[in-house]
Amino acid sequence: MNLSFFDQFTSPHLLGIPLILISMLLPTLLLPSPTNRWVTNRLSTLQLWFIHLTTKQLMLPLNKGGHKWALILTSLMLLLLMINLLGLLPYTFTPTTQLSMNMALAFPLWLATLLTGLRNQPTTSLGHLLPEGTPTPLIPTLILIETTSLLIRPLALGVRLTANLTAGHLLIQLISTATTALLPILPTVSALTTLILFLLTILEIAVAMIQAYVFVLLLSLYLQENI
């Protein structure tokens, strides 16, 4: 039974072929397709308003040079948001519960922000490794600490997203299993756990949206330090 709780995090296969790529590309079908009209219906209007609001919030701390990252960051947030939300549906698979996928998204983008800073302003980027006014005996230690903190940033991005989504999915499955088991024995307690499950599902929807935003927001803050 303990193993069955983690079966939802294994990538489904069809004829020995992993279907994780299809589950990642499917959310893109929900995006509005380009037409020769600015607004086609109310849904596209709502989508465009949300994309505009998201882009505005992400680009707020960046200067004009960082606005060229708007398309990448906004597209990444929409992809993560749709994958996280679709993963809450029954009998679905959430690719963002896989640490390998999250690291594949976090590491290249973090490295791109770092290389951007080293190319455009190497002195300022390297100056972040040593705070101003540091006593001379502490300089080697602080450089080592700041370098370690810099290098674990992509790991922190990937682990944060993976841990939050995995914990939520496990908690939902545990409570739903308890609800089903208690139904013939204690119907009143089962009804109470159903209410808890409903509230937890609402909480997980909020977590799925917040984690997608936090992932991209931290990348934009890393970019802010290097431009």
Instruction: Provide the pLDDT for residue 90.
Output: 77
Determine what percent of the chain is predicted with pLDDT higher than 90.
Answer: 23
**pLDDT tens for each residue of 65-116:** 788 888 899 889 888 998 898 888 877 778 888 888 899 999 999 999 999 8
Task: Determine contact, residues 133/115, Cβ cutoff 8 Å.
Answer: no
Report, as an integer, the average pLDDT of 58-71. 84
Task: Determine contact, residues 80/216, Cβ cutoff 8 Å.
Answer: yes
Helices in 60-121 by DSSP H: which ranges? 70-86, 99-120
Residue 4 has pLDDT above 90, yes or no: no
Q: Which tokens sit at 65?
A: 């040079």
Give the residue from 101, 81, 108 showing the smallest Cα distance to 11. 101
> Is 0.85 topped by the overall pTM?
no
How far apart are the C-alpha atoms of 166 and 162, rounded to whole Å?
Answer: 6
Q: How confident is the model at residue 24 (pLDDT cuts 50, 70, 90)?
A: low
Please, what sign has the CA dihedral across residues 36, 38, 41, 43?
A: positive
